[in-house]
A and B are shown apart, each in its own frame.
Chain A
Amino acid sequence: GAVVSQHPSRVICKSGTSVKIECRSLDFQATTMFWYRQFPKQSLMLMATSNEGSKATYEQGVEKDKFLINHASLTLSTLTVTSAHPEDSSFYICSARGTSGGQETQYFGPGTRLLVL
């Protein structure tokens, strides 16, 4: 089946630094990628939707200047958390929409756990 990878799986950083998270679709082309954030014991909240080659669409309440999304190719999207603060600590999950095995569906990455000290 289709696979979506995320790197890194875990990252610890100091407050004020920036962190980049990569999301790759390994065996299919992802025309659309979604970024979610999941706080402990809570559900996934959609942060933004990105289409390859165009600007991301952010959900209400998500700061586009703080969470920079780049979808430069059909297999790679990056999320950069700029000037991270402890309240940004969370589990970030990407998902990629594409066609694999003749069927279109959405595949999720394994997530990246961010801890900001």
Chain B
Amino acid sequence: AQSVTQLDSQVPVFEEAPVELRCNYSSSVSVYLFWYVQYPNQGLQLLLKYLSGSTLVKGINGFEAEFNKSQTSFHLRKPSVHISDTAEYFCAVSEKGGGNKLTFGTGTQLKVEL
């Protein structure tokens, strides 16, 4: 079975500052990795995903994440955040060959302030 840890429940940051949201995972098999964003009272939107290949993955809205197999991490970064990035961010994994079942972390609330 796999698990996902998002150590930071809340991350406050000023607008135009860089941000990193941390994600670590645990699995006994190879995994796919995902980051989703959830705006208030809305469903999840896929930001980016790592399936294979280059460990640096670029997603929508200027976000990127880097897969680090040795550290079992998939941290999400953005060099300059905007007020509109305020949302809940979820890291998720699914096991290769596991039928696309996603296991989510507990989420990180990103709050961008002026």
Q: Give me the interface of A with B, judged by CB distance under 8 Å.
A: 4, 6, 9, 32, 34, 41-46, 49, 93, 95, 97, 105-106, 108-111, 113
If A42-B106, A43-B107, A44-B90 touch, whether A93 touches B44 (CB-CB below 8 Å) is yes
In the complex, how many residue pairs between chain A and chain B have their CB atoms under 8 Å apart? Answer: 45
A61 to chain B, nearest CB (A): 14
Question: How far is A87 from B105 in the complex, measured between Cα atoms in Å?
Answer: 22
Say whether B44 contacts A32, CB under 8 Å: no
If A43-B90, A43-B105, A44-B90 touch, whether A49 touches B99 (CB-CB below 8 Å) is yes
A69 to chain B, nearest CB (A): 15
Q: What is the interface of chain A mostly: helix, strand, loop, or mixed? A: strand
For A95, what are the chain B residues with a Cβ–Cβ distance below 8 Å?
A: 44
For A32, what are the chain B residues with a Cβ–Cβ distance below 8 Å?
A: 99-100
**Residue B104 lies at the interface, judged by CB distance under 8 Å to chain A:** yes
Within 8 A of A (CB), among B87-107: 90, 99-107
**Residue B30 lies at the interface, judged by CB distance under 8 Å to chain A:** no
Say whether A110 contacts B41, CB under 8 Å: yes
Q: Out of A34, A41, A105, A110, which one reaches B43, CB within 8 Å?
A: A110
A107 to chain B, nearest CB (A): 8
For A34, what are the chain B residues with a Cβ–Cβ distance below 8 Å?
A: 101-102
B58 to chain A, nearest CB (A): 16
B90 to chain A, nearest CB (A): 7
Q: A34-B101, A44-B44, A97-B100 are in contact. List 19 more A-B contacts (CB 8 A).
A: A4-B43, A6-B43, A32-B99, A32-B100, A34-B102, A42-B107, A43-B104, A43-B107, A44-B102, A45-B104, A49-B101, A93-B43, A93-B44, A105-B46, A106-B102, A108-B44, A110-B41, A110-B43, A113-B41
